[in-house]
Amino acid sequence: MGKKTWTYVVGDKEAGVLFLTLDPVRVSLVTRVEIERYAKRNGITFEAAFGEVAGAAQDLILATDINDDLPGGQVTRQVFSGLVARGTVISDADFCFLAEVDSGNWGTLRNGFMPIEGAITALTDYDGGPVPEAPLEGPN
As a whole number of angstroms, the distance between CA 28 and CA 56 comes to: 15
Strands (E) located in the chain? 7-12, 16-21, 26-31
Q: Is 41 exposed, middle or buried (0-12, 13-18, 19+ CB in 10 A)?
A: exposed
Q: Which residues pair with 7 in a beta bridge?
A: 21
Average pLDDT value for residue range 116-135: 78
pLDDT higher than threshold 60 for residue 1: no
What's the confidence (pLDDT) of residue 3? 67
Q: Which of 121, 90, 117, 72 is nearest to 8 (CA)?
A: 90
Mean pLDDT of the chain: 81
Q: Which residue has the higher pLDDT, 61 or 52?
A: 52
What's the confidence (pLDDT) of residue 39? 94
Output the furthest CA–CA distance in the chain (Å, rounded): 59
Q: Tell me: the pLDDT tens digits for 45-57?
A: 999 999 999 988 8
Cβ neighbours for 42, distance < 8 A, ≥ 6 positions apart: 49
Query: Of the spans 15-19, 60-64, 70-74, 114-118, which averages the highest pLDDT?
Result: 15-19
Q: Which residue has the higher pLDDT, 40 or 6?
A: 40
What's the confidence (pLDDT) of residue 69? 60
pLDDT higher than threshold 90 for residue 25: no
The proportion of the chain whose per-residue pLDDT surpasses 70, expressed as a percent, equals 85
Q: Tell me: the pLDDT tens digits for 63-112?
A: 777 666 666 677 877 888 899 999 888 887 777 776 767 767 777 766 77
As a whole number of angstroms, the distance between CA 116 and CA 112 comes to: 9
